[in-house]
Amino acid sequence: MAELTTIARPYAKAAFVFAKEQSALAQWESMLATASAVMADEGVRLALDNPALGAAKKADLLAEICGDVIDETFRNFLHQLAQNKRLTLLATIGDLFHQFLSDEHQFADVELVSAFPMEDADVAGLVASLKKRLGVEVRVSKQVDPSLIGGVLIRAGDTVIDGSVRGRLNKLAEQLNSRV
């Protein structure tokens, strides 16, 4: 994984710098997400793995599947990736691009997972606390996972705060098992 990130980073950085110069950061993030989603399809991957297809044909095929979602500059980016045999890195490039964007705009994507749907006031309180703790703006996505039993699980990048009943029960079980 670290090797893929190392290889993908220059492409992500170049795309980010270009998109920033063109004032098209959101558009490029969207185009990268679309191309990554298309590349995640097993059928597309098999078609693009065909050794009979040249780099230009692979890029054209991917661009055709993406359709009007991508523009000419992104098509050129796909051609460059295809020529360097890096189309498979699109998801990693997209993740790195999003990371650069997050650093640039000082925000963090936070996932709130709760056992039950959360009230807007509760979410607002958590967002305020996270904003203070992380020191950046917070963009929240919410999920419901009944297996948590109660409480909330918060994921912000590499940081995980497990305030769920399931998490507490797991910790208690670990402590009890370590004493035996």
Provide the residue-wise pLDDT of the chain in tens; the chain has 180 residues: 568 889 999 999 999 999 999 999 999 999 999 999 999 999 999 989 888 999 999 999 999 999 999 999 999 999 999 999 999 999 999 999 988 988 887 888 889 999 899 999 999 998 888 888 878 788 898 999 999 888 899 888 778 888 888 888 888 888 888 876
The CB density around residue 63, as the number of other CB atoms within 10 Å, is: 21
Which one-letter amino acid corresponds to residue 65? I
Token pair in block for residue 168? 């507490």
* pTM across the whole model: 0.66
* Tokens 């009944």 sit on residue: 146
Domain of residue 50: give its range: 2-102
* Tokens 């309180």 sit on residue: 125
Do residue 121 and residue 65 come from a single domain? no
Those residues with Cβ within 8 angstroms of residue 75's Cβ, 6 or more apart along the chain or in another chain = 59, 63
**Which pLDDT score is estimated for 165?**
87
Q: What's the gap between Cα 83 and its chain centre?
A: 25
Do residue 80 and residue 17 come from a single domain? yes
What is the Cα–Cα distance from 5 to 22, expressed in whole angstroms? 25
What is the Cα–Cα distance from 29 to 102, expressed in whole angstroms? 11
What are the two backbone dihedrals, phi and then psi, of residue 174, each rounded to the nearest 5 degrees?
-65, -45
Cβ–Cβ < 8 Å for 18, 79:
no
Do residue 92 and residue 113 come from a single domain? no
Do residue 96 and residue 166 come from a single domain? no
CA distances for 82 relative to 29, 95, 143, angstroms: 19, 19, 36
Q: What's the CATH code of the domain at 8?
A: 1.10.520.20
Do residue 77 and residue 113 come from a single domain? no
Which helix (H) or strand (E) segment is 18 a member of?
Answer: helix 2-21
**Which pLDDT score is estimated for 2?**
64
**Which pLDDT score is estimated for 6?**
93
| Residue after which a domain boundary falls, among 59, 85, 102 | 102
**Which pLDDT score is estimated for 180?**
65
